[in-house]
Structure 1
Amino acid sequence: MGLKLLSRVKPSEILFKSIPKELKCVEITYPSSLNPRLIRRRLRHIAFRGSVVHTQYFYGSAILLPLTSVFMFLPLPNVPFFWILFRSYSHWRAAKGSEKLLRLVTDDSTCPNQHLETKTRERTASNSDEGSDDSAGPPWVFDPSKELDEIIDHDDANGLSKCSIKKICEKFNLNTMDVIKYQDSM
């Protein structure tokens, strides 16, 4: 029953929970046929939506905690209380992770040509400033990938096939089931 409940957790929540507090830079790999501004805008939208949704769910779960604590007087394990406690903590972590991602992706947005910077230019700039923690570049790195273009070109306009998703997951060491579950949830 616990595994069935955990399988209902959205993959976006798992992504946001996995973002550490110490994260200073985000590397974004995308098909080179797409516009980096569009990618950054979509990532900002996902992070903003995640922070709003998970904050609301956190407050909703926290309100339910006192109601489920009533079951503590029963001689049985208080599964509802611990489940709501776990979900509260999970939504809190997801809200903090999405806020961190939103801060990273929206930082330094005043510079008009940020999307033109390449991965190599940013890495050489950060290597020359090894002593300083704050580099002059943005906290994101865009990495256009020709390999992703080749994998995606074989699919139709309706979306990616499961074979293409499997190839992408193998290339980037992703869990195929989580990616398919995320695609199905959209």
Structure 2
Amino acid sequence: MRLYVIPILKDRWAYYCHSTLPTTSRLTKIVDWSSQKWENLDKAEPDSWKKKLYVKGTNVMNQLDYQEWFLKSIPAKEELQQPLNEVLVHHPSLLDPSLIHQHLEALLQYRIPYHRKYMWYSAYWVPIACTFVLVPLIPNIPLAYNLFRLYSHYKALKGAEHLQHLMSSTPTAVDSSSGEKERENEAKSSIHRSIFKYTQDMELDTLFNGARLSLKLNVAKNIAFPKELEQAYQPSSEKKRNAVPSHQQLASSLAQDIDGVLNQQHIKYLVDQLDVPGLETELSRARFQILKNIATERFANNK
């Protein structure tokens, strides 16, 4: 199993899990089969109901948090035929392994209780959604959505717990009461004794160190968004509150190249060089959500 740490900005990263490990889970095999059938809908005629269903369904799925997609891609501990003894973590040299390790630990501390909580919420709504079966000739969309969210939270929870288990193999925990320098030294010492093997990826460095493509990442607070995006957040004459741009407005504005941000050309380059299936979709989703969150914090909350 390999993890990729790819900066979208200098202080915002995306994670991607590439696993070809055989699984013993029948549920996972069924879901993988269903996913292949779903992706086949994309090949349908543009005006067909299959294509329209695929486009709308994909838009809904893209609203799910990109970190949830990452955790879902990590195989559950119970699904593996044998335990892992090594996890390769590929990253560009501009990222410090100890910071990546600490960031992953903080992510798991937040995500595990979050997905456990909303997994049970989704389970509670399933019996209520089943009552829509009584309505004839209408697809039970509420039931399908709740089952999807129940499975999604379950997969993210099991993936997060497995990742935490793998990281807990580090003998020495970082003491939060220590000073910043002590925590950094303890994290570095722990990494060397962990099954997590952090490695600087040469293909990533060709992009982020400017060997082939010139990319100098910026921090979130210094991003210059397109003017039309800022205007889309401006309040109208009828409303005092700031407006909320539509999904189409956000997608159009954020799809543009923005200085200091990983763009679509860079993403396609990484996909070609790393030859990792699914990476383009995950990075594009992470890029959009990260930029959307930054823009919302900057413009929507700015009165």
User: Does the TM-score normalized on the shorter chain lie above 0.5?
Assistant: yes
Deviation at 1:101, TM superposition (A): 0.9
For residues 82 and 96 of structure 1, the distance between their equivalents in structure 2, rounded to whole angstroms, comes to 21
| Higher Rg of the two aligned structures | 2
Deviation at 1:98, TM superposition (A): 1.0
1:28 aligns with 2:89: yes
Conservation of the 8 A alpha-carbon contact between 1:48 and 1:98: no
Higher relative contact order (CA 8 A, sep 6+): 1
| Cα distance, 1:4–1:160 mapped onto 2, change above 3 Å | closer
Which consecutive unaligned segments of at least 5 residues does structure 1 have?
Answer: 118-136
1:74 aligns with 2:135: yes
Q: Cα RMSD (Å) of the superposition?
A: 2.3
Q: Which has more helix, going by share of residues?
A: 1
For residues 121 and 89 of structure 2, the distance between their equivalents in structure 1, rounded to whole angstroms, comes to 33
**Partner in structure 1 of residue 267 of structure 2:** 165
Q: How many residues align?
A: 166
Conservation of the 8 A alpha-carbon contact between 2:118 and 2:153: yes
2:283 pairs with one of 175, 179, 184: 179
For residues 15 and 33 of structure 1, the distance between their equivalents in structure 2, rounded to whole angstroms, comes to 22
Correspondences of 1:1-186 after superposition (within 5 Å): 1-20=56-75, 21=77, 22=80, 24=84, 25-75=86-136, 76-110=138-172, 112=186, 113-115=189-191, 117=192, 138-153=194-209, 154-158=214-218, 159-172=261-274, 173=276, 174-186=278-290
For residues 116 and 273 of structure 2, the distance between their equivalents in structure 1, rounded to whole angstroms, comes to 33
Cα displacement string for residues 26-61 of structure 1 (whole angstroms, at most 9, x for unaligned residues):
210011232210111112222333223222221221
Cα displacement string for residues 56-104 of structure 1 (whole angstroms, at most 9, x for unaligned residues):
2212212222221221222233221122012111111111111111221
**Partner in structure 2 of residue 123 of structure 1:** none
Conservation of the 8 A alpha-carbon contact between 1:166 and 1:176: yes
For residues 104 and 266 of structure 2, the distance between their equivalents in structure 1, rounded to whole angstroms, comes to 22
Conservation of the 8 A alpha-carbon contact between 2:71 and 2:159: yes
TM-score between the two structures when normalised by the length of structure 2: 0.49
For residues 99 and 65 of structure 1, the distance between their equivalents in structure 2, rounded to whole angstroms, comes to 24
The amino acid across from 1:10 in the alignment is D
Cα displacement string for residues 145-180 of structure 1 (whole angstroms, at most 9, x for unaligned residues):
243223113222323233222222222214313202
Q: Give % identity.
A: 27
For residues 171 and 44 of structure 1, the distance between their equivalents in structure 2, rounded to whole angstroms, comes to 29
- Mean Cα deviation higher: 85-94 or 141-150: 141-150
For residues 149 and 126 of structure 2, the distance between their equivalents in structure 1, rounded to whole angstroms, comes to 10
